[in-house]
Structure 1
């Protein structure tokens, strides 16, 4: 279990982390989300005592990381996939970690096999691709068979097979009762992996809730209807006191009504429907809705300034235009 209480980090005038309080519990994959510059990496570094908090505390099973007797056997972390000596082989990189932490040599071969790097165990790290480096970083995190796992952007550089593998790995680790804390910008992957979400923006806590509750609380659900008798459909809904708004491809969007009820209503009026589909926002849509005011950097889509609001997704990826500039 990881417990944060009032955790704060200031760099000069910059408040990177602002009184964060939340708990990462065992048995769940907890997704850690936030726009670029939200303070996610800084928070993870403070969990591992790589940065000292300006204020507040963060405890791992009731202790500071520096107080842990066998840290790698308690916490495994991937924060930087490039954190290995370029001249060392994958095997020797892990062996150094194992020997300095009282971990048996046999465990090195086990984790190399787990992450799929056995065939390149003797290859030097400087020749690794980004995806291979990610796998080696995950192997290092697993080395001590820890109860707590922390991953910062673990799918960077992985191919589809690798992404599928790390998703199942994290789920299996949580199913074993371990604490799994993972930061990612890949919303579609978080939607498939995380059970619980912690969302921050500009260093402040925005949400600490289940995946289902987060989407329900931060998105609009509606029913999309399409009919070759669209005008009759609109009149029928209006006559029943139901408000519909135009949608894409000539559809109508209806809020606050059950799809089954709408289908029965159309049947009573002998209306043909080509579509009757409940719509629920994705994690990405819910996330963008919640963090709209917390994005520090906004990308530009090439339209002239003042031509409208930034498109969905602005603030992600190769951001170059700072908000307000």
Structure 2
């Protein structure tokens, strides 16, 4: 378990992390989300003792990181897959880590096999592709068979097979009762992986809730209905006191309702339905709505003729460019 209490980090005038308090619990995959510059990497570095908080505290199973003997046996982390000596082979890189933490050399072979790098174990890391480097970083995180795992952008550079593999791995680790804390900008992948979400913006906690509750609270849900007897369906819905929004394409939308009562109502009146579906926002849409006022970096696009187009709406944070660029 990872526990943060009032965690704050200031760099001169910049408040990178602002009084964060939350707990990452075992048994679930906890997603850590936020726009670029929100303070996610700084927070994860403070968990590992790489940065020292200005105030507040962070504990790993009740201890500070610097109080843990053989830390790889407690917590494994992937923060920067490039943090490896390029002249070392994958095997020797992991062997050095193992020896420094009292981990048997046999474990090196096990994790190399787990991440699919056995065939290149003796090759130097400087020749690795981005995806191979990610796999090596994941192997290092798994090396001590820790109860707590922390990953920053773990699918970066992985192909579709690799993405499916790491998603399955994280879910299986959580199912074993381990604590799994993962940060990613890939909303579609996070939606498939995480059970719980911690969302921050400008260093502040914005949400600490389940995936389902996060989407429900930060998005519009409605029932979409289409029928060749549209006018009759409208009359029936109005008579039942149901508010309907008419949209293009002949569809009707009923806010906040459930599909079953509408279908049953239509059946009682012998109205044919061509569509009856519950519509809900994606994780990406819910995230952008919540963090719209917390985005620090905004991109602009150049319009034809050399003039600058309007700024991307707040929440479109995919480009990590300088403010006002």
In the alignment, the residues of structure 1 paired with residue 11 and residue 321 of structure 2 have an alpha-carbon distance, to the nearest angstrom, of 22
Q: Is the 8 A contact 2:47 2:65 kept in 1?
A: yes
Corresponding residue number in structure 2 for 1:19: 19
SS of 1:298's partner is coil
In the alignment, the residues of structure 2 paired with residue 73 and residue 176 of structure 1 have an alpha-carbon distance, to the nearest angstrom, of 16
In the alignment, the residues of structure 2 paired with residue 147 and residue 256 of structure 1 have an alpha-carbon distance, to the nearest angstrom, of 41
Task: Give TM-score, length-normalised by structure 1.
Answer: 0.93
Give CA-to-partner distance per residue, 1:193-238, whole Å, 9 cap, x none: 1111111011000111111111121111110011223333334333
Q: Is the 8 A contact 2:300 2:309 kept in 1?
A: no
> Compared with structure 1, are the counterparts of its residues 248 and 66 closer, same or farther at alpha carbon in structure 2 (3 Å cutoff)?
farther
Structure 1 stretch 33-42 or stretch 227-236: which is displaced more?
227-236
Corresponding residue number in structure 1 for 2:158: 158
Cα offset, 1:248, TM superposition? 5.3
Cα offset, 1:128, TM superposition? 0.5
Counterparts of 1:195-214 in structure 2, within 5 Å, are 195-214=195-214
Counterparts of 1:136-285 in structure 2, within 5 Å, are 136-247=136-247, 249-285=249-285
Q: Report whether the alignment pairs 1:45 with 2:56.
A: no
In the alignment, the residues of structure 2 paired with residue 274 and residue 319 of structure 1 have an alpha-carbon distance, to the nearest angstrom, of 44
Cα offset, 1:250, TM superposition? 3.2
> Compared with structure 1, are the counterparts of its residues 286 and 174 closer, same or farther at alpha carbon in structure 2 (3 Å cutoff)?
same
Give CA-to-partner distance per residue, 1:118-164, whole Å, 9 cap, x none: 00101111111110000000000011111111100000001111111
Q: Report whether the alignment pairs 1:125 with 2:125.
A: yes
May I ask how many residue pairs the two structures share in their alignment?
322
Q: Is the 8 A contact 2:295 2:314 kept in 1?
A: no
Cα offset, 1:285, TM superposition? 1.6
Give CA-to-partner distance per residue, 1:220-263, whole Å, 9 cap, x none: 11100112233333343334332222345432211133212212
Q: Is the 8 A contact 1:198 1:208 kept in 2?
A: yes
> Compared with structure 1, are the counterparts of its residues 248 and 124 closer, same or farther at alpha carbon in structure 2 (3 Å cutoff)?
farther
> Compared with structure 1, are the counterparts of its residues 268 and 205 closer, same or farther at alpha carbon in structure 2 (3 Å cutoff)?
same
Q: Is the 8 A contact 1:300 1:321 kept in 2?
A: no
Q: Which blocks of at least 5 consecutive residues in structure 2 are unaligned?
A: none
Q: Which consecutive segments of 4 or more residues in structure 1 shift more than 4 A?
A: 301-307
Q: Is the 8 A contact 1:300 1:314 kept in 2?
A: no
In the alignment, the residues of structure 1 paired with residue 316 and residue 124 of structure 2 have an alpha-carbon distance, to the nearest angstrom, of 38
Give CA-to-partner distance per residue, 1:274-299, whole Å, 9 cap, x none: 10101122211211111111111223
Cα offset, 1:62, TM superposition? 1.3
Task: Give TM-score, length-normalised by structure 2.
Answer: 0.93
Give CA-to-partner distance per residue, 1:58-116, whole Å, 9 cap, x none: 11111110111111111100000101111111111111111122111111100000000
> Compared with structure 1, are the counterparts of its residues 63 and 321 closer, same or farther at alpha carbon in structure 2 (3 Å cutoff)?
closer
> Compared with structure 1, are the counterparts of its residues 314 and 70 closer, same or farther at alpha carbon in structure 2 (3 Å cutoff)?
same
